[in-house]
Structure 1
């Protein structure tokens, strides 16, 4: 994931000589990709849906349409970096590299063959400089006793690859069942989830120059999934909890002393600037959803604002994405089975969009429904958003 408190745009200009032509570069988002994992038990392959901002229309199964083949089972994450999009396909042990404009395949990489036999089950992606980083479950294993108590053993890895040659540039051992990753200040941060076993979850901090590492462990961090960083080095972690007395939420880990503070309840999160967006669903005793609250936490004000409350279960949220340029918020939703009234994980999903207003300082002000993209049909098993960001050159 990204580093917080950094501007979305980087501008360049020529010197102040009035006789010379000036130009600056403006980032522009053309659309949003939604990675869908499919449904493994029903033999439904994963796919990529694409929302075009110009038409406000969603086109489904776009990877298959452009390449004449399926992504395969359980793609989990995608990253647009430069002119390419990278898709981690957990069930196939593949990394798909495609042209971000056309989705035409540039390379299909069998990760356990190309990067090393331990590079199994790719999970999440991030990038820095001329490298893309991929987390792998690797040699992590889990087992359960007759009471469904989990035991885990082995560790996973993070691999750095060159963005031009796609060759391995480095491999770093992480902890048990690594998930979300981030890179900042020549350090790699890894969420070691322990597959919700809650026996050895941790955050790995690995020095990319020396390869040395350290672990952060805390009783509140039991199932870490995503991590973002501030320029000051503070860590903001999405933790799924233990599905019991510890609820899922967003935590701050202080760079000064590793002190852990809970900021808000959340089942997922994404960020832009100083704003962390998330949602949290409350359930009754029969595990029926009662209410979902959509919130944003601002790092500058250190306050939380609710921008939407759903008590009718119109949205059954599966993941959240925030446009990195304009800050529009997207929610991918599962749907109910018309006959049973329960969530249908084999059915096509829906996309819901919120237009968001920010202050001049980039602080969240308000959000409103976008009627043009409210309930648009997308693929089966939505799990991650990525954004088709390009640049326009403005001359003056």
Structure 2
């Protein structure tokens, strides 16, 4: 989910998406593996409305071109819960972060059949999980109570919680470290956090905090060891910004005003959505903006909400939340920015993940 002011205005349900984009040499930090198989299809997570308990996980099968609107409900005979915030595949399992319900749904990645539903709570108090990343058989889950949960992906149990900053959001891994954006989103309108916590993945301890612009949310890493942090600012006097952190030194090497929404990196390029319906193309090797709009055929997107790139096909997927209260769409573009197809999905579609055969 995006920054708090926007998120808590949204509703969302389900969506679906698919492949997307080029690839580059990768720093060997254990944060992922190169794709080795062709895709089976894509899942789309739609958030649904806050307190409406209507998040959905939809599936699009490439072989038969079949779309199942709520695959999770179909195979498990129950809903996902309230406000699905993130979904990622790790190994044979898929992990779905459900924020308001304060749960992690672990499912079979090929079928979406539930393996385990995990409560993320402090006693009876919801921790409100937000985002999830993986490293060496550990899952790391940012929680709005100011912690990062550490889950063993074999036993599917949470081993510990690491204290970070206020209301952490997105995370990324680079050079054996976990970078966590501390948004302070619950401090709206003028008491945001403006730090990125650095966690050593060997000791599982926070080693420092890096100062960025107020209200950081999205975090991604490129293959060159740089970590990109998008901050929203305070919506009035402090502008949105993009900080680039050198993970070798943990120093902010660049920070500039940069209006943006979601970001995905593939190869030498970052694809960054803007609220005006465009998708910026940023070269992470040269650290220069190459195109104000990657979309080359005039396709109009009302409210870009999420972006994903398929490293195998080069396709770029952009989710459109429309008005955040009715069903949205997923747009699939080829690597030149030309629309290939679009799919009607659920309310506030935000995440797309790719499934291998």
Same structural fold, with TM-score higher than 0.5 when normalized by the shorter chain? yes
Q: Is the 8 A contact 1:275 1:296 kept in 2?
A: yes
**Are positions 1:58 and 2:35 aligned together?**
no
Alignment TM-score, normalising by the size of structure 2: 0.82
Whole-Å Cα distance in 1 between the matches of residues 124 and 314 of structure 2? 39
Whole-Å Cα distance in 1 between the matches of residues 55 and 210 of structure 2? 34
**Are positions 1:178 and 2:168 aligned together?**
yes
Of 214, 226, 230, which aligns to 1:238? 230
Q: How far is 1:199 from its partner?
A: 3.8
Q: Which whole-Å deviations, capped at 9, do the CAs of 1:62-86 have from their partners, x for residues lacking one?
A: 1111100011111100111110000
Q: How far is 1:346 from its partner?
A: 2.6
Equivalent position of 1:385 in the other structure: 352
State the secondary structure of the residue aligned to 1:66: helix
Of 65, 69, 89, which aligns to 1:80? 89
Per mean C-alpha deviation after superposition, the further-off stretch among 162-171 and 103-112 is 162-171
Q: Which whole-Å deviations, capped at 9, do the CAs of 1:110-140 have from their partners, x for residues lacking one?
A: 1116xx66761010000011111111012xx
Whole-Å Cα distance in 2 between the matches of residues 248 and 309 of structure 1? 25
Aligned ranges 1:73-152 → 2 under 5 Å = 73-112=82-121, 120-138=127-145
Equivalent position of 1:351 in the other structure: 330
Whole-Å Cα distance in 2 between the matches of residues 198 and 5 of structure 1? 40
Q: How far is 1:315 from its partner?
A: 3.4
**Are positions 1:258 and 2:258 aligned together?**
no
**Considering only CA atoms, is the larger Rg found in Structure 1 or Structure 2?**
1
Equivalent position of 1:359 in the other structure: none
Equivalent position of 1:190 in the other structure: 180
**Are positions 1:32 and 2:24 aligned together?**
no
Q: How far is 1:239 from its partner?
A: 1.8
Structure scoring higher RCO (CA < 8 A, sep ≥ 6) equals 2
- Residue ranges of structure 2 left out of the alignment (5+ in a row): 1-22
State the secondary structure of the residue aligned to 1:242: coil
Q: How far is 1:311 from its partner?
A: 7.8
Of 334, 346, 360, which aligns to 2:321? 334
Whole-Å Cα distance in 1 between the matches of residues 96 and 143 of structure 2? 13
Q: Which whole-Å deviations, capped at 9, do the CAs of 1:31-81 have from their partners, x for residues lacking one?
A: 22111111126x251011222223444321111111000111111001111
Of 259, 265, 280, which aligns to 1:295? 280
1:112 and 1:259, CA in 2 relative to 1: closer, same or farther beyond 3 A?
same
Higher strand proportion: 1
Alignment TM-score, normalising by the size of structure 1: 0.74
1:9 and 1:237, CA in 2 relative to 1: closer, same or farther beyond 3 A?
closer
Of 293, 297, 308, which aligns to 2:295? 308
Equivalent position of 1:281 in the other structure: 275
RMSD: 2.7
Q: Which whole-Å deviations, capped at 9, do the CAs of 1:136-171 have from their partners, x for residues lacking one?
A: 012xxxxxxxxxxxxxxxxx1111111111122332
1:165 and 1:119, CA in 2 relative to 1: closer, same or farther beyond 3 A?
farther
